[in-house]
Structure 1
Amino acid sequence: MSDQSSPSASSAIALRIATVTMLVVLAIAAILLVPKHEPWFDEVQAWFLARDASVWDILWKYARYEGSTSLWHLLLTIPAKAGAPAMTLNFVSAALAVIGGALLLFRSPFPPLLRLLLPVTYFFFYQYGIVARNYALLMPLLWLVAVVYPARFTHPWRYVVMLIIVTQVSLHAAWMGGSLMVCFLWEAWHRMRWSISRLRPFTLAFAVDTALIVAQLWPPADIFGPPWEKMNQERITTALSEVLLGTVLPWPAISALVLLCAVCFFYTRGVLLSYLLSVAGLLGLVHLPLLQRLARRNDFCPADPAHVARFGEPGTAADRSHC
Structure 2
Amino acid sequence: MTARAAMPSPALLTPATSSRSHEAALAAIGAVGLAAALIAVGSHHEAWFDEAQAWLLARDSTLTELLRERLHYEGSPGLWHAVLWLASHAGYPFAALWLISSAIAVSSAFLILRAAPFPVWLRFGIIGSYFFAYQYSVVARSYALDLLLVPLAACLFPQRATRPLPYAIVLGLLANTNTHSFLVAGTLCAETLLLGLRAGTWRQPAFLSSMVVFALCALSAILQAWPAPDVSFGAAGIHFDRADRLLSEAFVGGVPFGTLDVPVLVQRLATLLILLPSLVLFHRAGTFILVGALILSLMVFSAVQHANLWHSGILFLVWIFGLWISWPTLNAGSRTLRRLVLASVAGLVLLQDVQTAAAWIREVREPYSSGREAAALVRAARERDSAARVAAIGFKAFSIQPWLPRNVFANYVGGASNPAFYLWDRRQRFSPRVELVSFRAALAGGYDLIVLSTDLPPGLDLDAYRAAGSEKGYCVTANIPGHLIWKTDRVEDDGILLFQRCRSAHDADG
Q: In the TM superposition, what is the alpha-carbon distance from 1:195 to its structure 2 partner?
A: 4.2
Of residues 142, 161, 183, the one that matches 2:191 is 183
**Residues 1-323 of structure 1 mapped to structure 2, 5 A cutoff:** 19-190=27-198, 192-196=199-203, 200-225=208-233, 228-229=236-237, 231=238, 235-236=239-240, 238-239=241-242, 241-244=244-247, 247-249=251-253, 250=262, 251=266, 252-288=268-304, 292=305, 305=413, 310-313=419-422, 317=434
Deviates more, 1:126-135 or 1:147-156: 147-156
Give the Cα separation in 1 of the matches to 2:270 and 2:112. 26
* TM-score (normalised: structure 2): 0.53
Q: Which ranges of 4 or more aligned residues in structure 1 deviate by more than 4 Å? A: 8-19, 195-200, 243-247, 293-296, 306-309, 318-322
Q: After TM superposition, give the deviation of residue 221 of structure 1 in Å.
A: 2.4
Counterpart of 2:468 in structure 1 is none
Q: Which runs of 5+ in 1 are unaligned?
A: 1-7
> Comparing both structures, which one devotes a greater share of its residues to strand?
2
Give 1 or 2 for the bigger CA radius of gyration. 2
Check conservation: 1:97, 1:125, Cα contact below 8 A.
yes
How many residues are aligned here? 302
Contact 2:175 2:185 in 1 (8 A): yes
SS of residue paired to 1:130:
coil
For residues 191-240 of structure 1, give each alpha carbon's deviation from its aligned partner in whole angstroms, at most 9, with x where no partner exists.
Answer: x22245755444343333333322222221222226742x4xxx44x355
Contact 1:64-1:217 within 8 A present in 2 as well = yes
Alignment CA distance shift 1:196-1:320 (3 Å): farther
Q: Letter of the aligned partner of 2:68 in structure 1?
A: W
Q: Is the 8 A contact 1:47 1:86 kept in 2?
A: yes
CA RMSD for the aligned pairs? 3.3
Structure 2 CA distance, aligned partners of 1:220 and 1:23? 41
Structure 1 distance, partners of 2:99, 2:44, is 12
Q: Shift of residue 248 of structure 1?
A: 2.1
Per-residue deviation, residues 63-99 of structure 1 (Å, max 9, x unmatched)? 1112111000111122210112102321111100100
Stretch moving more, 208-217 or 143-152: 208-217
SS at match of 2:43: helix
The worse-fitting range, judged by mean Cα deviation, of 51-60 and 204-213 is 204-213
The 1-side partners of 2:133 and 2:68 are apart by 32
Q: Is the 8 A contact 2:57 2:421 kept in 1?
A: no
